[in-house]
Chain A
Amino acid sequence: MACIESLKYEIVLKGASFSECREYIKKNCREVLTVDPGTLLFEKPIIGIPPVFIGLDGDTITFPYTKPCYGTFLLRTENPEEALRLRKMPRK
């Protein structure tokens, strides 16, 4: 597992609202997980307005990422280990 800054990721949306992130994930990802804010993803707590959606397509994870100075990004990255860990988490 690696922290987000060290991942190779693609920026899907920039300066997005959480409802825009949810909408994108619902429309474009095969599996949708609903998690609570504070859930660890790549060793960092997810910041967000509930419900927070994470999208999965095979080993590809699409997720919102918020930074205090830059707002919210929707990122996409491939990480088999983290995708497996997410699938094993209890579903809401």
Chain B
Amino acid sequence: MHIPEMKTGKEALLVLGCPQVPVQTAIALYLMHSLRRLGVRPVVAGNQAARMLIEVSDPAHHYAGEMVDLDGCITELAAGKRKYDYFMVFVHNDAGVSYGATVQSITGKKVVLIIYGEHFSEISDSVDFPCEKIAAKAVHNPMPLKKKIDEVLNWLVSNL
């Protein structure tokens, strides 16, 4: 199905975490779809397993666009070689919080943390750097997180 897209020339970096929580790939693809509808081009950063899950789920890249290695992406951001308009970091464990804090510290921009998993509430409470949070208890069923994204994405894209 064709996705009607506006063109804004803006790019969002989606930083994927460890893909051990099943909803991550589905939510990442849904978020890419929603961003494209708002005219924002998604770029996905993740480790090889996280990227391959996207690649196999969306082989024709209807939703996914460019995909980059996570370490290489952080290195480029730190060196100021690449800039994005939005930063969305997937978080379901302490490592995800560390990646979110790193992206925020390097870019100085407010990042959006997409917090999910069994312990989403404790993880959300542990975050004390400037960010917006989209948080829901989503492990196998992506719908609670999808609903939250639907509620706030337009606002985030207009206001960040």
Please list the residues of chain A having a beta carbon within 8 angstroms of any beta carbon in chain B.
15, 17-18, 36-40, 44-50, 66-72
B58 at the interface (CB under 8 A from A): no
Given A37-B105, A68-B18; A18-B98 close (CB under 8 Å): yes
Residue contact B95 to A45, C-beta cutoff 8 Å? no
A71 to B18, CA, bound (A): 10
Give chain A residues whose Cβ lies under 8 Å from the Cβ of B150. none
What are 8 of the A-B contact pairs (CB < 8 Å)?
A37-B102, A40-B75, A45-B71, A45-B102, A48-B101, A66-B99, A68-B95, A69-B95
- CB nearest neighbor in B for A70: B95
- CB nearest neighbor in B for A3: B71
Give chain A's interface secondary structure class. Answer: loop
Give chain B residues whose Cβ lies under 8 Å from the Cβ of A49. 97-98, 101, 129
Residue contact B75 to A37, C-beta cutoff 8 Å? no
Residue contact B102 to A47, C-beta cutoff 8 Å? yes
A-B pairs with beta carbons under 8 A, tally: 69
**Least Cβ–Cβ distance between B132 and chain A, in angstroms:** 18
Contact with A along B61-86 (1 / 0, CB 8 A): 00000000011001101100000000
Residue contact B102 to A71, C-beta cutoff 8 Å? no
**Least Cβ–Cβ distance between B25 and chain A, in angstroms:** 14
- CB nearest neighbor in A for B96: A68
Residue contact B94 to A17, C-beta cutoff 8 Å? yes
Residue contact A39 to B78, C-beta cutoff 8 Å? yes
| Minimum-distance CB pairs A-B, first 5 | A38-B78, A69-B18, A37-B102, A49-B101, A68-B18
Residue contact B106 to A68, C-beta cutoff 8 Å? no
**Least Cβ–Cβ distance between B57 and chain A, in angstroms:** 18
Query: Which residue in B16, B93, B102 is a CB contact (below 8 Å) of A38?
Result: B102
A36 to B101, CA, bound (A): 11
- CB nearest neighbor in A for B16: A68
